[in-house]
Every structure is written in C-alpha cells, then in structure tokens.
C-alpha cells in the first residue's frame, strides 16, 4: 500500500496503515455526507421550471437523467435549457420556462426519443397525453376576464381548445346586464404546455403552469361522492330511495330539484289558500275579506 506514492510504502506499520486508512475514510465519508445532504437540498425543482414532456416523476428523474442535453438539442423550438450551477434547477437537467418559451407540443415529440435513459418516457407517443404541469388561473383579481372585459386569449391559444380551458359564462353583477367569460382549466385535458401562460396579456401572467402536485388538490381516499356512486351502481348504496311525502294542501305539489311549488292547473277556478303571485292579493282588495 504505497499510499502517498512517495516510496515509503515498504515500512508502513499497522498503526500508520490504520491511521492513513481512517483518515482517508473520514475525509471521503464527510464529503459523501455533505454531497448527499446537498443533493437533498438541491433537488427541489422551482415551481416555474417545467420538465420536458414525458419526464418521469421528479425524484426518479434525478436518478435517470444523465445530463447529456440531447433533448435540448433535438427541440426544434429551442425552448429547453440545461440547469447551470448556481441556477435553482439541478445542474445539467433540462427544463423550460412557460412564460418565455412554452412547449409547442410537436406531434412527433422529438425530445423523447433523444433521451438515452428513459428519463423522458419513451412510451409516451401522444403529446396530448403528456402532463408537464397544470395551468392554474392564479389571480382572479387581475385577470381581466373577471373584471368583465373580453380577453379569452388563453382559451384561444390553447392547443386543446375548448377541452383544457373552457369559458364559463357568468352574470356580471357590476354592470347588471353583461356576461363574464371566465376561463376554467380542466386537468383531464391540460398538458401543462404553457402556451396560455406565454400568451396572457398581463404584465405578470394571471394563468400559470405549476407542477401538478402543487396545482392539484386531492380528495381523501375514503371519500365517495354519493351521486356518482349511485350512478355507477344504478341505485342507492345504503338504503333504497324513498320518495319524500310533502304535507301540502290538495292540488299543490312540490318539486324539490325543479320548479318548486306547483299549483295544479285544473284547480284554476277555485279559491286557493295560497297563491304564489302577490298581485292576486292586491287585486282582490281588502274589502272582500
């Protein structure tokens, strides 16, 4: 064991040997521990950095990506970047920033076959199935659609138009006579490409791409939505439905989820104890009572 290479290897006794061994092991061990801890800290991906389509979950991605940059080279729109030391993104790993350069959703997804280690999943062949992140309308106070102005830019640039972002028409209570065209994102169709964030007309986008785990809520595993379960089964799960009996005067029905109180039309001529129209009472006058 000519440890130092200075030719004193011949005369090393056990004490020196153990000393050298432990010293080296200590130094390297400390370094390894430091590296391991640094890796935990460094592996948190900032929310604004989006991985290319097909990227496997982040913790596995950092084990699979060998930082070769071929996906960057094969991206025809040059939107992908490699993280550099000092960036928040792990050095050498690919990402894009939706606001400045969103994924253009090429149909042949050229970045994926370029990956030599399946860090970008080669099984993904339909770009519409990719889930790079999820668009979220983050600020209803500045999004001009919520102010009652016509915009719909995010809705119109969306490559899965009408499915990933739809417009919900709501009453404009401020003007009293207009509609609000509210953009609603649907996670079952949104790929997280970021074209909407790029196109948002505000100084700071009101619709942003977030990593899915940050953007989505999740129901407790034990939750069952009653009406969906009922639909699946075709009947109620617990006790059979019983029609509710309303204790109402003759000729009057109550439709719980529909019109409400219904006064049967056959009884038109008769005096009713209750009328839904207050004018009736007024027209009748007080004297007749």
Kindly list the residues in this chain that would bind other proteins in the complex (CB under 8 A): 1-5, 7, 20, 23-25, 27-29, 31-32, 35-36, 38-40, 42-43, 59-60, 62-70, 72-74, 81-87, 90-92, 115-119, 122
Q: How far is the CB of 111 from other proteins (least distance, A)?
A: 12
Torsions phi, psi of 268, nearest 5?
Answer: -55, -45
Cβ distance to other proteins smaller for residue 93 or 191: 93
Cβ distance to other proteins smaller for residue 31 or 248: 31
Q: How far is the CB of 218 from other proteins (least distance, A)?
A: 23
Q: How far is the CB of 66 from other proteins (least distance, A)?
A: 5
Cβ distance to other proteins smaller for residue 68 or 153: 68
Pairing of strands 252-255, 165-171: unpaired
Cβ distance to other proteins smaller for residue 80 or 207: 80
Token duo for residue 262: 């219904």
Tell me which residue of 155, 141, 149, 153 sits closest to 178, measured CA to CA.
149
Q: How far, in Å, CA of 75 to CA of 198, rounded? A: 18
**From the CB of residue 103, how many other CB atoms can be counted at a distance below 10 Å?**
28
Q: How far is the CB of 168 from other proteins (least distance, A)?
A: 42
Query: Under the phi-then-psi rule, with left for phi > 0, alpha for psi from -120 to 50, and beta for the rest, what region is 5?
Result: left
Cβ distance to other proteins smaller for residue 7 or 234: 7
Q: How far is the CB of 135 from other proteins (least distance, A)?
A: 28
Which CA distances in Å does 55 have to 38, 93, 181, 241? 23, 11, 34, 47
Cα dihedral sign, 20-25-28-31: negative
Which CA distances in Å does 85 have to 42, 59, 91, 126? 10, 19, 5, 33
Q: How far is the CB of 13 from other proteins (least distance, A)?
A: 16
Cβ distance to other proteins smaller for residue 95 or 146: 95
């Amino acid at each position: 064991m000519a440890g130092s290479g200075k030719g004193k290897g011949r005369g090393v006794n056990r004490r020196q040997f153990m000393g050298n061994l432990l010293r080296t092991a200590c130094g390297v061990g400390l370094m390894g521990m430091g590296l391991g801890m640094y890796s935990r800290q460094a592996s948190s991906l900032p929310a604004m950095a989006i991985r290319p389509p097909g990227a496997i979950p982040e913790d596995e991605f950092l084990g699979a990506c060998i930082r070769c940059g071929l996906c960057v080279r094969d991206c025809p729109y040059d939107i992908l970047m490699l993280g550099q030391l000092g960036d928040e993104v792990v050095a050498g790993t690919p990402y894009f920033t939706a606001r400045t350069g969103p994924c253009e959703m090429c149909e042949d997804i050229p970045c994926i076959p370029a990956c030599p280690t399946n860090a970008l999943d080669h099984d993904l062949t339909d770009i519409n199935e990719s889930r790079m992140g999820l668009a979220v309308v983050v600020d209803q106070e500045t999004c001009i659609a919520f102010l009652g102005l016509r915009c719909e830019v995010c809705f119109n640039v969306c490559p899965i138009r009408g499915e990933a972002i739809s417009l919900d028409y709501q009453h404009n209570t401020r003007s009293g006579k207009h509609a609000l065209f509210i953009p609603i994102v649907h996670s079952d169709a949104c790929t997280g490409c970021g074209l909407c964030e790029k196109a948002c007309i505000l100084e700071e986008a009101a619709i942003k791409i977030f990593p899915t785990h940050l953007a989505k809520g999740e129901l407790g595993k034990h939750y069952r939505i009653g009406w969906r379960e009922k639909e699946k089964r075709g009947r109620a799960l617990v006790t059979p439905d019983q029609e509710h009996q309303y204790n109402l005067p003759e000729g009057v029905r109550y439709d719980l989820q529909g019109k409400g109180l219904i006064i049967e039309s056959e009884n038109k001529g008769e005096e009713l104890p209750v009328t839904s129209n207050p004018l009736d009472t007024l027209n009748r006058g007080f004297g007749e009572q």
